[in-house]
Amino acid sequence: MIAMTLRPVLRFARLPILAGALALGAHMLADPLVAQEALPGSQMARQSLRPYWHVFAAYAIVIVLIGGWAFSIARRLRSLEERLVD
């Protein structure tokens, strides 16, 4: 029932969400390009999109490893609690 009610709202909101995500992405990508214009030629080569992937990968590793540890602890905790209840 709730899903039926929300479906048209979500369909309507899909476009603004997509546009917002694209605008945010464009903003994040555009900043270093603007900065390049002010940099001397020797430093321009250093500015590319490659460092962004390294930064995103590093932050993703943090989420995966801490989340993985938390998930593993939760799984062991639940299994032991069930064993003690039985």
Partner 1 sequence: MTGIRRGAVALTLLGLAGLVALFWLSFFWVSTEVTQGVVQRIFYVHVPAAWTAFLAIGISALCSAVYLWLRDERLDRAALAAAEGGLVFATIVLTTGPLWGKIAWGTYWTWEPRLTLTLLLWFIFAGYFMVRNATEDPDKGKRFAAVVAIVGALDIPFIHVSVLWFRSLHPQPVVAKVEGPTLPGDMLATLFFGLGTFTLLFFGLFLFRYAVEGLRTRAELRTRTSAA
The binding site for partner 1 (CB under 8 A) comprises: 32, 35, 46-47, 50-52, 54-55, 57-59, 61-62, 65-66, 68-70, 73-74, 76-77, 80-81, 83-84
Question: Helix count (H) and strand count (E) of the chain?
Answer: 3, 0
Q: What is the CA radius of gyration of the chain?
A: 23
Closer residue to partner 1 in complex, CB, 4/58: 58
CB of 8 to partner 1, least distance (A): 31
First to last CA, the chain: 38
Q: Are 29 and 49 in contact (CB under 8 A)?
A: yes
Closer residue to partner 1 in complex, CB, 11/83: 83
